[in-house]
Amino acid sequence: MLPDIRDYSELYRQFRWRVPAAYNIGVHVCDRWAAVDPRRCAIVHVRPDGTSEDISFGSLRETSNRLANALSAHGIKRGDRVAIMLPQAPEVAASHVAIYKLGAIALPVAVVFGPDALVYRLQNSGAAALITNAVGAAKIASIRGDTPDLKLVLSLDGAADGVLGFHETITRASSDFTPVRTSADDPAMMIYTSGTTGPPKGALHAHRVLLGHLPGVELPHDFFPQLGDLFWTPADWAWAGGLLDVLLPSLHHGVPVVARRFDKFDPEEAFALMARTGVRNAFIPPTALRMLRSAESPRGRHDLKLRTLGSGGESLGAETYDWGRAALGLVINEFYGQTECNLVLASCAMLGVSRRGAIGKPVPGHEVAVIRPDGTEAAPGELGQIAVRRPDPVMFLEYWQRPDATREKFIGDWMTTSDQGIVDEDGYFQFVGRDDDVITSAGYRIGPGEIEDCLIRHPAVALAAAIGKPDPVRTEIVKAFIVLKAEHAPSDALAAEIRDFVRTRLSAHEYPREIAFIDAMPMTTTGKVIRRLLRERA
């Protein structure tokens, strides 16, 4: 979608959206390629035992057609919500394609969700069907009475009580299916926000959301696709980052995607996987990058073929940025967005748009600014809220059954993000923190990112999060929660050492006056720290 213009300012100025009136994600990411060359590789499926198989676009079309017919035979129709709760696997891609071609609405659900989280999403969405595995089917068995709208459950692991076998069911269905004609503005998917503040909301997206993502994928991956590209991410495909930053854009471009189930992210296995499969493009969230950074350097141990490395979902930090250049020989291109309006800011080292500690600049096609509470644009260097102007093809349609929340998301034509940021004189955006993450101490407004970036530079620190703890004198004090590396043990002496480490590198008002050592960091399914839980704990 991006024109071949290798100057950022000129690229941004000349870019124009090309969104057709009629558009269906399933047709464009699958059937279009299968018609040209059905043997073309769509997915490289790496099994847990290390063996792999290539799934072609022709195979993906046949499986999705059979599934669309099977869903239709069980009463699933246009506009119905169909949940997908599976780890990375070819059937996930086939399920998405089938749902879109049927005109239904895909509802990605993270495999780590427990019964309460599942009940909320299935009830709130009114999901009519669920595609899962034996683990998911067992979870559903305990809550089936609380999900009256659920007509059909399919399991990849075969039939069980109240559950039909996925493969057995689709084998009986026809491999011919005529996709429903959908407009670019028709609903296609609903992704629930992480719910770090209040209950999760279903962000409803149209088919055009994929087209809206393309420039934001192509820019930070240095004009993706290039000959020989192969994409991988450890991010769950149920998350917007895994689904819309990697899986669907890659298939749209006819680029194969590596599918590998990780029950728990393992840095050594991640390096080995990328080397073994020849991954050329990777999206790795900052938390996973910090775990890679804590492992032994891959140089001389793994023959990596990486061409591009992108990161987003939370602040990357200058320390991880520097590590990427030193350990991988790559500039990590950071990007930014949220479930409601994703990939609107990005870096692109190829174009010289890359600055240590900054996200980057607006992706061509998106108008992004830092605004004041009244909706006016902030001056360079002035703290405000990051916002995106509508209309925008990547922007959500609405919050599901939450019209008031949808209206409150906007100030005029600016879609607000609740993320605090700054734009400098050169147009680079810097993420400061969520509205409720910014710490107010002795009159200073402190973003947690800089503190955390400094904390992980300490040789004993694996992960760190900084929050504001109420204080009668300073309003708030900075408190740090730290996960230590395996070879270090908590102690008062180590806490004092870490405090001094930050004080001497940042400033007297930013160092953590309290430090708590914890065994594990509370995370959302998307890998973001749940600071609300840390504030409650403090």
Q: What is the mean pLDDT of residues 472-496?
A: 91
pLDDT on residue 165: 98
User: Could you tell me whether strands 257-260 and 41-46 are parallel, antiparallel, or unpaired per DSSP bridges?
Assistant: parallel
pLDDT in tens, 307-352: 999 999 878 888 899 999 999 999 999 999 999 999 999 999 999 9
Q: What is the mean pLDDT of residues 263-287?
A: 93
Q: Is 289 helix (H, G, I), strand (E, B) or coil?
A: helix
Q: Which two tokens stand for residue 67?
A: 């599934």
Domains present along the chain, CATH in parentheses: 20-206 (3.40.50.12780), 436-537 (3.30.300.30)
Confidence of residue 525 (pLDDT cuts 50, 70, 90): low
Among the ranges 210-219, 457-466, 516-525, which has the highest mean pLDDT value?
210-219
C-alpha 416/C-alpha 412 separation (Å) is 10
User: Which residue in 255, 249, 257 sits closest to 227, CA to CA?
Assistant: 255
**124 CB contacts (<8 Å, ≥6 apart)?**
202, 400, 401
C-alpha 281/C-alpha 224 separation (Å) is 9
Helix (H) or strand (E) holding 503: helix 492-505
pLDDT in tens, 346-360: 999 999 999 999 999
pLDDT in tens, 9-43: 999 999 999 999 999 999 999 999 999 999 999 99
Give the number of other Cβ atoms within 10 Å of residue 381's Cβ. 11
- For residue 507, pLDDT beyond 80: no
> For the chain, what percent of residues have pLDDT higher than 70?
97
C-alpha 119/C-alpha 143 separation (Å) is 7
Q: What is the mean pLDDT of residues 43-69?
A: 97
Q: How far is CA 511 from the centre of its chain?
A: 30
pLDDT on residue 196: 46
Confidence of residue 443 (pLDDT cuts 50, 70, 90): low
